[in-house]
Amino acid sequence: MNTRELIEKAEALVRNTGLFIKEELGKVTASDIEAKALNSLVSYVDKEAEKMLVSGLLELTPDCGFITEEDTPDDDSKEMVWIIDPLDGTTNFLRQIPHFSVSVAFRVNDIIQLGFVYNIMLDEMFSAGNGHGAFLNGRKISVSTIELFNETIIATGFPYENRDTLPFVEILQSIMIQGRGIRRFGSAALDLAFVAAGRIDAYYECCINRWDVAAGIIIVKEAGGKISDFSGGDNYDDGKEIVATNALIHDQLLAIIQKHNV
């Protein structure tokens, strides 16, 4: 299978999975919901969506491994690995807040080659290929051109655990004072996609997982953005710390985070 065919089939699978999720909106009952950890919820929708993705991707790339959020055993020892978050924004979905996504990335020899983030309720497919640019429903996209920090819109997220041990309030306060606005949408994958499309100027978060950010990372990079950890280094792909910006305000945002993240 050539790369173009793989992209088309993978994108169609992601979209179909998103349509399944959309059809289940409002159907999940309290008895269908499990608590995986503190403030981390899962339902049959997450699990069925993951099964759809895994079975479909196995047909496309039979000798592959997976890193997933739900029940599929992780196997990142293979040359080809799919990194999957079947429903990023589960809490939004369960509360019928129309902001959640499917996130799928394709890694070959430890390098992310493809990324797909599907904004289910708006039928928006964000995608990117290594060295080939970033796209929204087939149209090329790029990050914003905002240079002045007082004009920035910045998104963030809060970790499920250890909320009292991290300097969220101080960082948020500095950004609110110095920037134009701050948002907390509830889907890390869509936050990254929105940076890539220039809808917001930056996103930062800590204590999340690689399946939340793997697809979004390549989309931001291919759209001309910059990504680092809180120290400005490259230790971000495991999701522990990530700062993604339009590149023009990257150092300014890092300075605020580093001031408080001691």
- Amino acid code (one letter) for 170: E
3-state SS string over 59-122?
Answer: HHCCCEEEEECCCCCCCCCCCEEEEEEEEECHHHHHCCCCCCEEEEEEEECCEEEEEEEEEHHH
74 annotated as belonging to a binding site for a ligand: no
205 annotated as belonging to a binding site for a ligand: no
69 annotated as belonging to a binding site for a ligand: yes
φ and ψ at 19, to 5 degrees?
-65, -40
88 annotated as belonging to a binding site for a ligand: yes
Closest CA to 170 of 162, 178, 180: 178
> Rounded CA gap, 72 and 47, in Å?
9
251 annotated as belonging to a binding site for a ligand: no
> Rounded CA gap, 108 and 82, in Å?
9
Q: Per the annotation, where are the binding residues?
A: 69, 85, 87-88, 212
Q: Per the annotation, where are the binding residues for Mg(2+)?
A: 69, 85, 87-88, 212
